[in-house]
A and B are shown apart, each in its own frame.
Chain A
């Protein structure tokens, strides 16, 4: 199985800041990498698919990059509604697997 490792596990930041979350796969997954945002008590929401494609309706302050084993999610100019937990997911090989999550908190 492919293991996904996110860093950091938690992050404190202020409104307006730029934050970067990284995700590493235990083997190459090409660009079969997705990012989700989850708020407490809610289902995850797809932000970025295929490593760098922004899902329809997602603000442009979110961006993804990477290929192979190393991927990045960047949030430019944090907004209050961005404080949530973020997960990466590989969909290259069954079973699909998620990172452990990065909790983004308000500083």
Chain B
């Protein structure tokens, strides 16, 4: 059984950075894709980017280009999402989600990490 466990809630100042981790257990970490999706309070789901450890590549949503960095450490089965130059409208719950195949959806999700940005 696959489990994705994320790091705890964070409170950040505007202009700072946050790094959220997502540790996987079960399954072969390096063989699947880890996506990052965020959800602002009361809003819908927004895809931020993904890491493909098997080929060592990443893709980012254009609106986050230059501010987000997604990495994966196969030795610890942990993915990371770092968002810089934080603004109050970055306040959201950030999720990691596993994708085995582009035709099969995101079948396992982390529990979510609340990042609150406030002065």
Contact = CB atoms under 8 A, between A and B. Distances in A.
Contacts of A94: 59
Contacts of B47: 95-98
Interface stretch (B68-76, B78-86, B103-111): B103-111
Interface of A: 1, 31-32, 34, 36, 38, 43-46, 48-50, 53, 55, 87, 89, 91-92, 94-101
When A and B form their complex, which 7 residue pairs have the shortest distance between CB atoms, in order from nearest? A34-B105, A49-B105, A43-B109, A98-B45, A46-B105, A95-B61, A96-B47
Given A43-B95, A43-B111, A34 B106 contact: yes
Q: How large is the interface on B (under 10, 10 to 19, 20 to 34, 35 or more residues)?
A: 20 to 34
A46 B100 CA distance: 13
Contacts of B119: none
Interface in B52-106: 59, 61-62, 95, 97, 99, 102-106
A49 B104 contact: yes
Given A91-B102, A101-B44, A55 B107 contact: yes
A21 B111 CA distance: 26
Given A43-B95, A43-B110, A43-B112, A98 B44 contact: yes
Nearest to B95: A43
A contact face: mostly helix, strand, loop, or mixed:
loop
A53 B61 CA distance: 27
Contact of B35 (A32, A50, A96): A96
A98 B35 CA distance: 13
Contact of B104 (A43, A50, A98): A50
Contacts of A31: 103
A99 B46 CA distance: 10
A32 B45 contact: no
B95 A55 contact: no
B66 to A, nearest CB: 15
Contacts of A45: 109
Contacts of A48: 105
Contacts of B111: 43
16 contacts: A1-B62, A43-B95, A44-B45, A44-B97, A44-B109, A46-B107, A49-B103, A49-B104, A49-B105, A50-B103, A55-B107, A87-B45, A89-B45, A95-B47, A95-B62, A97-B47
